[in-house]
Amino acid sequence: MALKQTMKTGKNEKTQEKILFFDAGPIITLVMSRLAWILPELKKKWGGRFYITPAVQYELIDRPLTVKRFEFEALQVLKMMREGVLERFEAVPRQKVNSLITLANTSFRLEDREMDVIQEGEMESASSALEVGAEGVVMDERTLRLFIENNRNMKALLERRFKKQVIPNFQKMDQFSSSLRQLTIIRSIELVGVAYSFGMLDGYIPEGKRGREQLLDAVLWNVKYNGCAVTEQEINDLKQFLLEK
C-alpha cells in the first residue's frame, strides 16, 4: 500500500534528503476539499521537501490566476510556495521528459490519429522524481498509474472514456511502462490517511461510538468527490486499515 511508503524515514541515496514531487491534481484536490492545511503539517512531521515542477506551477498558479473562478485557489497554492511548503524544482530532465511524452502519446490511436494520454506536468514530476531518487510522486490521475502498473488495461479505460475503438501499440506501451517501473505513486487520499493516523484530524471527530468511522467516511469521500481517482472498494479498504491501527 502506497500509504506505507509516504512517510519513510530513510533518505534517498542520490540527494541524502527526503523528497516528494507533487502533480497538480492532488494539490487541487486538497485545496478544494479544504484540506490543504495538512501539507505544512505533514512536511514538518516528515522532515523532507515537497517539490513542484514548472509545468505543474503553470497548472496550479500561472494559468488559474487568469481565470476568476480559480483565482483564489491559485493564491492559496502561491501562499504555500511563499512559505516554503512547496518549492519549485528547476533541474527537470527535459530530454527524458520529452522522450517519454512522445512515447506515451504515440502508444494509442483513435481512428486515424494518435492520442495524447499523458500531460507535461505529470511527466515532469515522474521524470524528476526518478532522476533524483525521490521517495515518490503524489498523483491522483488514474491514467499514468494504470499505464505503469497494468498497461494492458489502458485500452479498455480509453475506450470507456472516448466511446470508440482504440488501437494500442504494445511495444511502445511496454517500453514506457518499463521506464517508470521504479516510480512510487501516492494519492492525495493516502496523504489524508497519514494525516489522520498522526491525529491531525482528531478535532473533527463527532461524539458517539462510531465517531472515528464517520470522520473517515466523510473525509475520504470528500477527497474522492474533489478529484482523487479512487474506487469505493479502495476507500473501504483504507478506512478499515486506519480504524484497525
For the chain, which residues make up each domain, given as ranges?
Answer: 2-93+118-147+184-188
Rounded distance between C-alpha atoms, residue 20 and residue 60, angstroms: 17
pLDDT in tens, 85-113: 999 999 999 999 999 999 999 999 998 89
Pairing of strands 49-52, 19-22: parallel
Q: What is the CATH number of domain 2-93+118-147+184-188?
A: 3.40.50.1010
pTM above 0.95, yes or no: no
pLDDT in tens, 26-46: 999 999 999 999 999 999 999
